[in-house]
Amino acid sequence: QVQLVESGGGLVQAGGSLRLSCAASVRTFSTSPMGWFRQAPGKEREFVAGINWNGGDMVYEDSVKGRFTISRDNGKNTVYLQMNSLKPEDTAVYYCAAGKKPFYIGRTDLRDPSEYGTWGQGTQVTVSS
């Protein structure tokens, strides 16, 4: 069972930047797709960004394209979300998630939350206007 721990959230002014990190506890991290999701108060959890096992494929939700960058370091069992040009509407709890299928089992739809089997506890990001 993969365990995920997010960090890096906080309070930032609009236009600022934050870098979220998600540390995974098991060696199988390097074969798993990873994703970032977020949930704002009163809203459904939504996809933000996803990355395949080796970083060769990345996808983003439209509203964050060009502002957020997902990356991973398999040597450190960590996935990152660099967030630039933050807006008040980015305020949410951000969760990282590990895909259910390692790459050698099959392709993962990185946008689909049902493809992810393990979730972190979340980190709060608040953007003030």
Cα–Cα dist 53/17, whole Å: 26
Phi, psi at 17, each rounded to 5°: -135, 150
CA 14 to chain centre: 20
pLDDT at 1: 63
**3-state SS string over the chain?**
CCCEEEECCEEEECCCCEEEEEEECCHHHHHCCEEEEEECCCCCCEEEEEECCCCCCEEECHHHCCCEEEEEECCCCEEEEEECCCCHHHCEEEEEEEECCCCCCCCCCCCCHHHEEEECCCEEEEEEC
With beta carbons less than 8 A apart as the criterion, state whether 81 and 48 touch: yes
Where the chain has pLDDT below 50, the residues are none
pLDDT value, residue 28: 82
